[in-house]
Structure 1
Amino acid sequence: MRQDRLAALAPLAAVLMFLAAIVASFWYLRNEEIEREKEALKRDVEYAQQRVRLRLLERQEQVMRLARDVSNQEVDRSEFGTRAEALISQYPELQALSWIDERRRIRATHAAPTVTSSQLRVAGEVLRGGETAELYGLVRDLLQPVYSQPVTTNAGDAVPLLQLQVPLASEGRFAGVVLAEYSIDSVLRYGTPTEVLARYAVTLLDADNHVLAGSPLPPRSGSVWPWSAKANAYQVPVSPVGNGLVLRGQAYRTSLGMVGSGLFWLVGTLSVMTAWMLIATWRHTRRRLQAQQALIAETNFRRAMENSILTGMRALDLQGRITYVNAAFCQMTGWSEAELVGQMPPYSYWPEEEHEALHAKLREELSGKVTPAGFQVRVRRKNGHLFDARLYVSPLVDARGQQTGWMTSMTDITEPNRVREQLTASHERFTIVLEALDASVSVAPLGSEELLFANRLYRQWFGSQTAGHLQLVAQAGVLPAHRGQSSVDDEDGLMGLPTDPLTSANSENAEIFLPELGKWLEVRSRYLNWVDGRLAQMVIATDITPRRLAEEQAARQAERAQSVSRLITMGEMASSVAHELNQPLTAISNYCSGMISRIQRGQIDEEGLIGALEKTAHQAQRAGQIIQRIRAFVKKSEPNRQLARVEDMVTEAVELGGIELRRHNVRLSHYMAARLPPVMADSILIEQVLVNLMKNGAESIVQANRPPAQRNVELRVVPRQVEGQDVIEFSVQDTGGGLPPEMLAHLFEAFYSTKSEGMGIGLNLCRSIVESHHGRMEAENLYNGSEVTGCRFSFWLPLA
C-alpha cells in the first residue's frame, strides 16, 4: 500500500514542480520586461518634461522682456498690441497677452483667433474676481512671476488655459502685470518631442489627476493575467508651474507577453495533461486502496458480528460433511470447532433416540425441500442436556454461481417456547376472568363495524354482532366507534385519537336504559391500541337495574317524608290555625246576628244591609283562602319545578308562617328587593322551607325566654352573586339563643334534632329541597361581642 501510494504521488509531485518552475521562469522574464519598459518610459517622460519646461521658460523670458519694456514706458498700448500679435502668431501655445494696470483695469489685450468668446478679455474692463484676480493679488504681494493652477472647464468649446502674470514696476512700486495665457493642449503638442508622442500616450493632468490635454489609454479589460489589467504609466510635475501641471506617459501595448507565447502554452498544456493522467491514476489507486481497506474492515466486521451473535451457524458440503461452525454454534452444543468440523452424520449433537427422524430431516435439507419458515428439532449438548432449536437452511453459492453446500442457522428457542406456553396459560386465565365478569365488555375499531372482542355477557345480551356495541356508544353519548370513512384530518397526529368528538364526549360514566333488555346499564368507554396497531374503543356496560330501583324507591320515600313533614308542621300549627280561622268565623257570626236584630227592629236600610253582607262575604272568603292554602300545602306530594315569582312565594310563606309566629307572640318582619327576577322552582316546596325556618326561629325565641321587645324574626330576600353566578338569597334571622358550636356540624343530618320532641327530619328535608333546586343552605350564629344574639339560616337559588 505504501509503495502504491509513493508510485502514484511521486510522478505527480515531479510534474507539478516542473510546471511551477516553468511558470516561475516566465514570471521572472515577464517582470524583467516590465521593468525595462518602466525604465524606458520614465526616461522618455522626464525628457519630454524637460522639453516642455524649456519651452515654458522661453515664453516666460519673452513675456518678462515685454513687461520690462512696459515698465520702462518704452511700449505704449498700440505697440503692446503689435508685439503681442507677433508673439502669439509666432508661438502657437501663447493664446493671449493682456496689460493690466495697478487699478486692475485692462489697458491693452490681444488674443489668438482660437480663444473662445467666454475667455476673451476686453480693454477697459476691471478684474472683479475669480482666479485671475486672486493671482493678481499674489503677484502684487510677491512682485514675482506666478503661474496659475490650470483646471478643467465645464464649457464644451473652451480649452483649459495656463496663466502667467509678470509684475510691472515703476520707480520701485507695483504698476500692474502682464498676463500671458497659454493653451495647455498646444504646450503638450509643441513642447513634447514627436518620438515620445509616437511611443506613448502623453497627457497633461491637473492636481486632481483630471486630464487637461492629450488622450489617455482606456483601461484594459478581459485580460486573464492580473498584471495586464493596468497599463504601464509614469508621471512627473512640470516646472516652473509646479504640482498643478503633471505630465503623464502611458506605454502602448507592444507585445502579448506570456498569453501569446506558444512555448508557454505548449509546456503548460503538456504539464496539465500529464498531471491529469497522474491524478486519474492516483484516484484509481486510491479507490483500490479504499476497496482493500473496506474489504478488510468488512471481513473483520463480519467476523466480529459472527462471533457476537447468538445464532449458531453451520455449513455443510453437498455430502453432508460439516465444513464450518461459528462460536455460537459451539457454545450451544458444547463441542469445540475442531470436534465438529469434518463430522459426517450422525452428528455428535444429535439425540440418540431421534437419529432416524434427524436423518430424514437432513436428507430433506440436502435436497432443498426445507420450507423457508425452518423446522424445529431437539439438540443434545455435550453434557447430555437437551434443548429446542429452530433451523433455517439456505444454499451456499461460490463466485462462479455454483452451489457448494448448505448454510444452516440454529436458534435456541427453549426460552421462547416456555414464554409462549406461559402466555397461552395467561391468555386462558384472562379469558376466563373476562368471561366470568358480570359486565358486558366489547372492543371495536374506529371506522369499522368489525367486533374485535366480546365476552360472554355481551354475547348473551347482543349476540356476536357490532350492533350492540354501536347502540351502547350512540345512546351513552361517548366517543363514536363508527364514523364512516376515517380521515387523516380527523385524527390527532401525535395521539392517534379523533380530534372533533373528544371535546363533546361525556367524560363521566353514562347511565342508559335499554327497553329490549329491560335493564338500566352504566356505560364506560376508553380508547386503546389493538394488537395490530389499530385504534379501538372498549365499552364496558354494567347492569345497575337494582341500584336504580333502590334510588327510585328512596326518592319516593323522600317525597313521602316531605308530605309527612308538612303534616307534622300543620299538626303543630293546628291551634294557631284554629285561632286564625276563629277570627273570620266570629266576624261572620257577629255580622249575621247584627243584621238579624236590625232587620227585626227595622233599623237597617238597603245600603247598610249590602255593606254588612259584603263584610260578611269578605270574612268568609278570607276563611276559605286560609283553608285552601293549608290544604294545598299539605296535599302537595310530587315536585313540579316551573318559572315562579319570588314575590308570590314569599307572600304565601309569610301568611302561613305568620299564624305560628303570632301564636308564640313573635313579630315577623320581611324585606324583599324590588323587581326580583323569576326562579325555576317548586313554589310549595320553597314555601315549606321558609315556613319551617320561620317556625324554628319562633321556637328558638320561646326557648330563650326573650322579652317582648326582642321577640323578632326577620325574612330578607335579596339578589346576590355566588361564585360568579347570579342567585336569589333567602335568609331567616331570629333573636333566639342560637346553636351550640358542636351542633352546627351535624345540624342538617337526618334524624338529628336540637329539640327534645323533634324528629330530626325538618332541616334535613329543607337542605334536600334546596339542593334539588341546585342551591345551597347554611346556618350561623349572630354575636354581639361574645354574646349570642340569635341565629341566621340562609339559602340561595339560581336564577331561571
Structure 2
Amino acid sequence: SRVFTAQQLLNLPGYTIVVRMDSWRAAPDLFPDVLTALVSVMSIALVSVLVLLAKDTRRRLRAERGLADALAFRQAMEDSLVTGLRARDLQGHITYVNPAFCQMVGFAPQELLGHNVSAPYWPPEQADEYGQRHTIRMSGGSPPPREGFESMFVRKDGTRFPVLIIEAPLIDAQGVQTGWMGACLDISEQRRVQELTRAAQERLQATARLATVGEMASLLSHELNQPLAAISSYATGSMNLLGDGPPGPEGMASLALAMRRIAEQAGRAGKVIKSVHDFVRRRDEAREAVPPQALFDAIMPLVGLQATKLDVHVELVLETDLPPVLCDRTMVEQVLLNLARNAMQAMDQPAIVQRRLVLAVRRAGTTQRTAHAPGWLEFSVADGGPGIAPEVAPKLFTPFFTTKAEGMGLGLSLCRTVVEQHGGFLAMEPNRPQGMVFKFTLPVAPPVPAANHH
C-alpha cells in the first residue's frame, strides 16, 4: 500500500525535535462511518429546525401584527361609538368604560373604574333603589330584559338625563360568565322629540275638532234658532199678558205655562251648546273604562243634527252585555263623530234615496291584528253611499288628502292615529249591496278587582 510521509523540524531552546507523520490507506472501519452519519443527520435536523423556527417566527409576527391591528380597529370602533359601554365583573365592579360613556356622565375613566356601589353617576335619592336592583342583577336573580330598561343618570355637573340600558352577560372562551356588558343610550333628545310630537299631535287634534265644529256651524245655528225663536215667542206673549194689567187666574196659568216652555227651550239650547263644548274642550289625555253606549250617547246630539238635515236614518246596534273599553274618551268620540259625518256626507246625493247609517259594536274575533292582547271590541260605521274608487282607497288615510272641496284632509288620518295609539287598527271594506264600512278596534278594560270586605 502507498505510504504518505511528512516531517517537520522544530528548533526549541536547547533541543531539536523532528516530527514525522506517516499515513496509509487501510480497510474501512465501522465506528468512524456511524459517527459521520450521525453528525450528518444531526446537521440536517438542525438546519430543518432552524427553517421551521424561522417560519414559525414569521407566522407569530404576522399573528401579532393581526392582533394589534384588530385591537386598534376595536379601539377605534369603541372610541367612535356614541353609545356608552360599561363592563362590570360578577362582584359589580366597573372594569371598563368607553369614551362615549365617560363623555355621557362627565367622569374620567379613573373616576369610574373599580366602583361598585354606589356609582358616582347615580341620583343620590335613588342610590338605595339602584343598589338593590344592582345586587339582584349581579346575583343572577333577575336577568335584564332583552329590550332594555330605562333609568336616570346624573352628570358630574349635576344635570340629570334619562338613559336606556341594555345589558348582556360577558362569557369567556371557556363558556363561563365573567360579568356583564351594558350599552347605555342617552334618550334625552328622543324624549324631547316625543314630547314635541305629542304636543303637535294634541294641537292637530284640537284643530281638527274645531274644524269639525266649524263645518257644522250652519247645523248648530239651525238647531239653536228653533229654541231661541220659541223663547222669543213665549216671552212676547208673557209681556202682552202683563201689559194689560195684573192677569187673572187664567192669565197666571198661561204665564206659568209660558215660563215652563221658556225653561224647556232654554234647556234644549243649553244641551246643544254643551254637546259642542264637551266635544271641543281640551282634556288631559287619560284612559278610562267607558261603556260603548256612553261613547255613542256623547256624539248622538251632533250626529242627529246632520242626520236631520240630510234626511239620514240612524241605527244603533250594540251586542248585549258588552264590557267597557279602555280608551281616551274624548279622542274616541272624535273618531266616531268623524266617521259618522263622513258616512252621512257620502250619502248626500240625489240618486241615493234610502239613506241609512248603522253604528254598531260587537266583540271582535281573534285575528292576527288582535292576537297581541286579550279582549277587543269592534266598532263599525256603515253607510249606503257610492263607495270609494279603487285609485282613491290607498291614499284615503294620507294626511291632507281629501276628496272634498272644503275638506282639510285630516279627519281619517287622525282617526287612524288615535286608534293605533290605543293598540287597535282602523280598516275599511265595501258594504253590501253598496256603500262602505269603516271598522276599528279598542281594547276591553281590565276587570276591577272586587274589594275584600271583612
TM-score normalised by L of structure 1 = 0.44
Residue of structure 1 aligned with 2:72, choices 398, 409, 428: 428
Residues 1:501 and 2:142 are matched in the alignment: yes
**Does the 8 Å contact 2:85/2:181 carry over to 1?**
yes
Change (3 A) 1:445 1:643: same
Deviations for 1:573-626, whole angstroms, at most 9, x for unmatched residues?
000000011111111112222223334454634444333212211211221221
Q: Partners of 2:428 and 2:315 in 1: how far apart?
A: 19
Q: 1:464 — aligned with what?
A: 112
Deviation for aligned residue 1:326: 8.5
Q: Partners of 1:629 and 1:756 in 2: how far apart?
A: 27
Residue of structure 2 aligned with 1:582, choices 225, 228, 239: 225
Q: Report SS of the residue matched to 1:741.
A: coil
Q: 1:16 — aligned with what?
A: none
**Does the 8 Å contact 2:313/2:357 carry over to 1?**
yes
Matches within 5 A, 1:638-653: 638-653=284-299
Q: 1:691 — aligned with what?
A: 337
Deviations for 1:41-90, whole angstroms, at most 9, x for unmatched residues?
xxxxxxxxxxxxxxxxxxxxxxxxxxxxxxxxxxxxxxxxxxxxxxxxxx
Q: 2:310 — aligned with what?
A: 664
Q: Partners of 2:182 and 2:206 in 1: how far apart?
A: 42
Matches within 5 A, 1:179-258: none
Residues 1:673 and 2:322 are matched in the alignment: no
Deviations for 1:255-275, whole angstroms, at most 9, x for unmatched residues?
xxxxxxxxxxxxxxxxxxxxx
Residue of structure 2 aligned with 1:630, choices 257, 266, 276: 276
Matches within 5 A, 1:255-294: none
Residues 1:733 and 2:382 are matched in the alignment: yes
Residue of structure 1 aligned with 2:171, choices 522, 529, 549: 529
Residues 1:330 and 2:47 are matched in the alignment: yes
Q: 2:435 — aligned with what?
A: 790
Deviations for 1:6-57, whole angstroms, at most 9, x for unmatched residues?
xxxxxxxxxxxxxxxxxxxxxxxxxxxxxxxxxxxxxxxxxxxxxxxxxxxx
Deviation for aligned residue 1:679: 1.9
Q: Partners of 1:639 and 1:707 in 2: how far apart?
A: 40
Change (3 A) 1:441 1:469: farther
**Does the 8 Å contact 1:732/1:794 carry over to 2?**
yes
Q: Report SS of the residue matched to 2:344.
A: helix
Deviations for 1:187-238, whole angstroms, at most 9, x for unmatched residues?
xxxxxxxxxxxxxxxxxxxxxxxxxxxxxxxxxxxxxxxxxxxxxxxxxxxx
Q: 2:196 — aligned with what?
A: 553
Residue of structure 2 aligned with 1:716, choices 337, 360, 363: 360
Q: Partners of 2:161 and 2:241 in 1: how far apart?
A: 76
Q: Partners of 1:435 and 1:469 in 2: how far apart?
A: 22
Change (3 A) 1:441 1:514: same
CA RMSD after TM alignment = 3.3
Residue of structure 2 aligned with 1:438, choices 75, 79, 82: 82
Change (3 A) 1:519 1:485: closer
Q: Partners of 1:737 and 1:482 in 2: how far apart?
A: 66
Q: 2:16 — aligned with what?
A: none
Q: 1:94 — aligned with what?
A: none
Residue of structure 2 aligned with 1:572, choices 215, 231, 234: 215
Deviations for 1:429-470, whole angstroms, at most 9, x for unmatched residues?
321321232111111123x12223211122341542445599
**Does the 8 Å contact 1:509/1:524 carry over to 2?**
yes
Aligned residue identity for 1:760: G
Residues 1:542 and 2:191 are matched in the alignment: no
Q: Partners of 1:775 and 1:587 in 2: how far apart?
A: 46
User: Whose relative contact order is higher, 1 or 2, with alpha carbons under 8 Å and at least 6 apart?
Assistant: 2
Aligned residue identity for 2:160: G
Q: Report SS of the residue matched to 2:339.
A: helix
Change (3 A) 1:476 1:329: farther
Q: Report SS of the residue matched to 2:285.
A: coil
Structure 2, unmatched stretches of 5+, are 1-38, 446-454
**Does the 8 Å contact 2:310/2:344 carry over to 1?**
yes
Aligned residue identity for 2:187: I
Q: Partners of 1:551 and 1:648 in 2: how far apart?
A: 31
Q: 1:799 — aligned with what?
A: 444
Q: 2:62 — aligned with what?
A: 418
Deviations for 1:126-152, whole angstroms, at most 9, x for unmatched residues?
xxxxxxxxxxxxxxxxxxxxxxxxxxx
Residues 1:455 and 2:98 are matched in the alignment: yes
Q: Partners of 2:392 and 2:172 in 1: how far apart?
A: 56
Change (3 A) 1:482 1:325: farther
Deviation for aligned residue 1:562: 0.4
TM-score normalised by L of structure 2 = 0.75
Q: Partners of 1:694 and 1:475 in 2: how far apart?
A: 54
Deviation for aligned residue 1:485: 8.2
Deviation for aligned residue 1:414: 3.8
Matches within 5 A, 1:60-79: none
Deviation for aligned residue 1:539: 0.8
Deviation for aligned residue 1:650: 0.6
Q: 1:60 — aligned with what?
A: none
Change (3 A) 1:534 1:717: closer
Change (3 A) 1:748 1:469: farther
Matches within 5 A, 1:26-65: none
Residues 1:514 and 2:153 are matched in the alignment: yes
Q: Partners of 1:506 and 1:469 in 2: how far apart?
A: 24
Q: Partners of 1:613 and 1:420 in 2: how far apart?
A: 103
Deviation for aligned residue 1:720: 3.3
**Does the 8 Å contact 1:434/1:455 carry over to 2?**
yes
Aligned residue identity for 2:74: F
Q: 2:19 — aligned with what?
A: none
Aligned residue identity for 2:378: E
Q: Partners of 1:418 and 1:333 in 2: how far apart?
A: 18
Q: Partners of 2:66 and 2:129 in 1: how far apart?
A: 38
Deviation for aligned residue 1:796: 1.9
Q: Partners of 1:636 and 1:521 in 2: how far apart?
A: 32
Deviation for aligned residue 1:553: 0.9
Q: Partners of 2:137 and 2:310 in 1: how far apart?
A: 73
Greater Cα radius of gyration, structure 1 or 2: 1
Deviation for aligned residue 1:475: 12
Aligned length: 383
Identity in percent: 28
Q: Partners of 2:382 and 2:64 in 1: how far apart?
A: 76
Q: 2:35 — aligned with what?
A: none
Q: 2:239 — aligned with what?
A: 596
Q: Partners of 2:137 and 2:388 in 1: how far apart?
A: 64
Q: Partners of 1:641 and 1:715 in 2: how far apart?
A: 22
**Does the 8 Å contact 1:729/1:796 carry over to 2?**
yes
